[in-house]
Every structure is written in structure tokens, then in C-alpha cells.
Structure 1
Amino acid sequence: MRRLAFALGLMAMAAVVAPAQAQQMVDPDFRPAVERPAWAEGQGPVVVIDEAHANFHRMEGRYSPFAALLRADGYRTRAGALAFDAGGLEGVDVLVIANAGATDERPTPPAFTEAEGAALEAWVRAGGKLLLIADHAPFGAAAEGLAARFGVKMATGYAFAMTPDGEPTTTLTYPAEALGDHPIFAGRDAAERVEGVTAFTGQSLEGPAGAAVLLPMAAGARESRDLPTLQALADRLKTEAESRDAVLEALSKPALPAQGLAFEYGLGRVVVLGEAGMLSAQLIRFPPGSGQADRRFGMNVAPGNARFGLNIMHWLTGLLP
């Protein structure tokens, strides 16, 4: 684990930590609270969290904290078990797709068929609301074809920024002054303003013309193609034998401009995020005797993330302009 100390965000994927050494789980101490619910209990729009596409984040699994947050705000949540062209969009007000394509197959195949993509695009164009989330590799590759239908480009790798000390970090912070004035950040009033967002690894994105950049990547942010390359980059930056610029150029590429996008699409609305852990609440638990404390990531350590998630839903469902 010492080699990954520079990048706590990488723990947002279970494969990063050997199962025999540690366990990734939902944080049992996380209890979402909403002081002013948008809807009466159980009376809000229907939010379906997709589970039909080998999703790494599911409603009763790693996205149960997000589902609980939505229910606390009055939304009705259910899991989506059907393909989009086979009834999966019926009765849905907001569709959430989080990290589809959790497969060991390489290269990573598309998580969605052409028919499903066409059905979803038509549904959004006619007024549907979509929250599409695709994290670092392999999830960007699994979703990039679907994203392209909406004009979104996914970098499909591992995004990182450079700290003031010249170290790569995959814990990506977006302070209030970087967030802009989109209604998602303003909320319904001052009490709902988003004061900051933290992402944990993920990939970078580029939106279609006119899309609002919700989470702008920091100046100098980069992206590696896979985890071993990122590890090698971090190791080589610690030596004096090579130019830092040469190492970065050889093992990474400039990140795309954003990690979050929002735009209208026909009569519908779309939000795309390049990182999933920010809207969950998880921990890595190490075995007794390891000497390592639990490590948390998500809404449990970044309180602005929950407000961000709620405001995304408020914008998608029209509570925000």
C-alpha cells in the first residue's frame, strides 16, 4: 500500500486493494440527513439506479448511501433490472447509471447495445432525465459509446492533478471559487449553495457545445491510461534521473477540461460525472493487526458532495432552472 499512498482516491475501486488484505464496503456510520426535503416522504419523482449492465455501483450496494440520501429528500428509488429497449425506461423520471461495465474482459467492451443507446437517447430527447457516471478505467471505455450519443467525450483513463510539491494526486478537490454560478451550485437559496466538491480518482470529460462545466479540471491536470502506468509515473517522479516533464509526457496525457458536465438535450436534461465515489460513502477496512486505520471516501468525508448530489437531482427534475 505504500506505493499508493500518493493516491487515496484509487481505493474507490475494489481491485486496487487485495481482498485478502482489506475490504471495501459501504460506510456503516454514514447517515444522510436532509434538513429541508424537496418532496414529502415518498412523493417525489421516481429515480431508477441502473443494475442491468454489470454495474459496480448498485442501489443495494455501493450506491446505497446515494439512494438513502435521495429517499431522505423525498424521491422514490428503485433498481433498474431491464435493458433500456426492453422496458427499462418505463415509469422512470430520472435514470442514474453508475459505473456500468464492471468486467474483467479486456479490452473493455461497451456496456450498452446500440439498440439500448438509441432508446435512451430518444427517451432523453423526449424529456427524460439522465445522470450518467463513469469512473476511471475500465468504466470510461464501457460507457464512452453511450456518452458519445450525447456529444460527450470520455478520456477513459485515470485522472490526476499535481500537488504544490510536485506529487501526483488522484484526490481531486473543487473549492467553491472554482464551481461557477450554475444553478446546481447555487441551489434554491443560500442555504443550499455547494461549498466544495471532492472527487476520488475518476476520469476527465469534454462536453458538447454549450454544456456547462460543473467540475473544471485543475491547470496542469493529466490522465494516465491505466493504474500500472500511474504507479510507474509516481515512482519515476521520485527520482532525479529524468526530467519531470519528460516523465509526464511519456506516461500521461493532458486531461480533458472537466470532471462534471450539465446540459439540456432536446426536452430532457443530462448530467455526466467522471467519478462515482463522490456520491457514495465507503471505506476500506484493513484486517486486525495490520496497523492501518479505516480509510473513508465519498460523502462521509466531503460534506459538500451530498449537497452537490441533491442539487444535481433538483436541476434534473426542474426544481432548479
Structure 2
Amino acid sequence: MQKLASRCFFIWYTLVFWAPNGSAQQVADETFDYPVTVPVYKTGSGPLIVFDEAHNNASTLRGAYAPFGKLLASDGYQVVSSREKVTSELLKEAKIYVTVNAMYDMEDWDLPARSAFSPDEITELANWVADGGSLFLVTDHMPCGASVNELAGRFGINIINGFAIRKDGRPEVFSKQKKTLISNDITSARGKRIDSIMCWGGTGFIVPPHSHVISVLGDDYRIYLPSQASQIEKRLKATIPYISGRGLVNGAYLEFGKGRVVIFGDGASFSAQLQGIKSEKRGMNHPWATQNAQFLLNIIHWLDRKL
């Protein structure tokens, strides 16, 4: 019964909570196209990017992240999905490992939380990064944060297993003008400057001192910490515990040994979706997310040491 309730909540939250019209339909926007005028590599000649689909990932290259794969392929990268658990054999040919919205269970989001990655997988990934590999870790609200917190912890990052929600309940445009988007190697690359990105909630985390912050949450946010995911409703009850978003970030990057790590706390930002009967845009295709696609390219270029 508990799993059935969690499954119902999963469907409701994913398809309704952020959709003003309340319609339960969400598909990849196959028409989305961001022109890459000067690809880093010739078609199919770039490094291998392994896209994780082995950890109950809600986002796949055939689903919401199809535009993600299409965009990176247009830049010359070889992007392949993998349903294999992490091993040295899987990683040996890869330049970048991407995992998006990994979950310990697709149906049961409630506490107690547990890791989607086994201890052996975490060790393999950490060793691979330390030896020169690059990890792009994209997570989201409960239960995604807890599902990858042990993995993130190997790099000194502590992810909050909650729901980051603006006090006004709206999506967020992070910008340098508002000082919520920070100038750094990724956002201020020559000829590829990023002044704003759009996000849809997600979660926040604490990063080690040697990391570089990309974007911050701040006082406009609360991170709600329910014991059961179904407690997050359109009208939030006052009994749900929360912490302030002050001091928390939702985007950062760092070097680890010889390798590199980028972590981001919202999965929608790098998708391109059509939502509801009105096909409202969400992700890189949103009218306010004009730089999200270039932001993604900048992240991949930094991980690939092209910035």
C-alpha cells in the first residue's frame, strides 16, 4: 500500500505539481534545436560520454533527456546510454560519466533514504575521477538527493534530501544581475558567457571550500524535509519541517585528483519538455531559459578540458 501511494505521488508530482493547468502529460520536445555553429569535434569523433540509466533514473536519453543527447551529439560527442552498474570496464573508454536523477526506488520515495549506488560503484567512480575522469552529477528533489548523497560525499558534497521551493512557488531565473548566478570559468567562458539560467526547484547542497559555486539558493527558498514525499502538496502544510535556502547552492564544480566534477541540483534545466494539454515548455526550450543549452555545453566543455 505504501509503495502504491508513493507511485501515485510520483505521477502526481512529476506531471502536475509544477504544471499550472494540472494536466498529466509530459513528453520530450522533439522540435527543440539549439544551433551549434562551431562544433568542438566533427560528428561522432568526440570523446565518449556514458549516460547512466542503471539506477532507476527517471530521465533517459529516449525520454526527457533526448534533447540533451541530441545537443551534445551536435557538438561532436559520442553519447551512449548504459544500463550497466559502474565498473572499471564500463568507465575505461569514457571521458565523462553523466548520471541524472538516480533513485534508490522508483516507487518508494519515503524515508529511510538509501543510496542508489553501491559502495563498490562509488569507489570505482571516485577512483576513476581521481585518475582523470569527469563526472556530471545531476540530482533533484527527494528522493534523488539522498540517492546520490553517498556518491557526492566522496567529493566532499552534502546534498539535502528535500524539496527546494521558492516562497512564492514559482520557477527561478538565476542571474548574475541578481547575484544568484556566479561568475566563474563555466559561466564566463570567452565568447560563451552565461548571464542567466532557469531552474524548476530541485534541491540544494553544501560544497567544500575548494569548490567553485555556480548558483545559489538564498533566503527566497525553503528546503522542505518531509518524511513522506506525499506530504508535499500544492498547499504546503505548516507542520512540514524546512530549512532556509541561505548558504545552500544548487550548482558547483571542483577538481578531484586529476579529474573533475560538476554537480547540479535540478534535472529539468537540461531537459526540453512539453507539459500538459497546452504543451507548455519546460527546460532548455522554455522562453526564459535562452542560455540553458549553452550553459550545458559550457559544463561539458569544462569537464572535457575545452574551457
TM-score class, shorter-chain normalisation, is 0.7 to 0.9
Question: Who is 1:5 aligned against?
Answer: none
Identity %, equivalent residues = 30
Judge which range, 142-151 or 211-220, deviates more: 211-220
Question: Who is 2:298 aligned against?
Answer: 311
More helix by share: 1
> How many Å separate the matches in 1 of 2:12 and 2:299?
25
Give the secondary-structure state (helix, strand or coil) at the position aligned to 1:168: coil
> How many Å separate the matches in 1 of 2:212 and 2:146?
23
Question: Who is 1:129 aligned against?
Answer: 134
Structure 1 residue 29 displacement after superposition: 2.2
Given that residues 12 and 24 in structure 2 are in contact (C-alpha distance below 8 angstroms), is that contact kept between their aligned partners in structure 1? no
Judge which range, 81-90 or 54-63, deviates more: 81-90
Q: Which amino acid aligns with 1:294?
A: S
Question: Who is 1:4 aligned against?
Answer: none
Structure 1 residue 87 displacement after superposition: 2.5
Question: Who is 2:121 aligned against?
Answer: 116
- Structure 2: give runs of 5+ residues left out of the alignment: 1-10
1:299 to 267, 279, 284: 284
Residues 157, 28 of structure 1: alpha-carbon distance in 2 compared, 3 angstrom cutoff? same
Give the secondary-structure state (helix, strand or coil) at the position aligned to 1:65: helix
Q: Deviations over 1:211-270 (max 9, x none)?
A: 1110111334211124554437x456xxxxxxxxxx5x9642112520001000000000
Q: Which amino acid aligns with 1:132?
A: L
Judge which range, 41-50 or 23-32, deviates more: 23-32
Give the secondary-structure state (helix, strand or coil) at the position aligned to 1:87: helix
Q: Deviations over 1:253-292 (max 9, x none)?
A: 1125200010000000000001111001012133xxxxxx
> How many Å separate the matches in 1 of 2:12 and 2:100?
17
1:253 to 224, 243, 249: 243
Question: Who is 2:66 aligned against?
Answer: 64
Structure 1 residue 133 displacement after superposition: 0.7
How well do the aligned residues superpose, as a CA RMSD in angstroms? 2.4
> How many Å separate the matches in 2 of 1:15 and 1:145?
30
For this pair of structures, how many residues does the alignment match? 285
Residues 176, 35 of structure 1: alpha-carbon distance in 2 compared, 3 angstrom cutoff? farther
Residues 15, 195 of structure 1: alpha-carbon distance in 2 compared, 3 angstrom cutoff? same
Question: Who is 1:279 aligned against?
Answer: 270
Given that residues 32 and 65 in structure 1 are in contact (C-alpha distance below 8 angstroms), is that contact kept between their aligned partners in structure 2? no
- Structure 1: give runs of 5+ residues left out of the alignment: 1-9, 237-246, 287-292
> How many Å separate the matches in 1 of 2:89 and 2:12?
35
Q: Deviations over 1:106-130 (max 9, x none)?
A: 4343111000001100000110000
Q: Which amino acid aligns with 2:244?
A: P
Give the secondary-structure state (helix, strand or coil) at the position aligned to 2:254: strand
Counterparts of 1:1-321 in structure 2 under 5 Å? 13-14=14-15, 16=17, 21-85=23-87, 87-101=89-103, 102-105=105-108, 106-107=110-111, 108-162=113-167, 167-169=168-170, 171-177=171-177, 178=179, 179-187=181-189, 189-190=190-191, 192-226=192-226, 228-231=230-233, 234=235, 247=238, 251-255=241-245, 256-286=247-277, 293-301=278-286, 302-320=289-307
TM-score normalized by structure 1? 0.82
Q: Which amino acid aligns with 1:122?
A: N
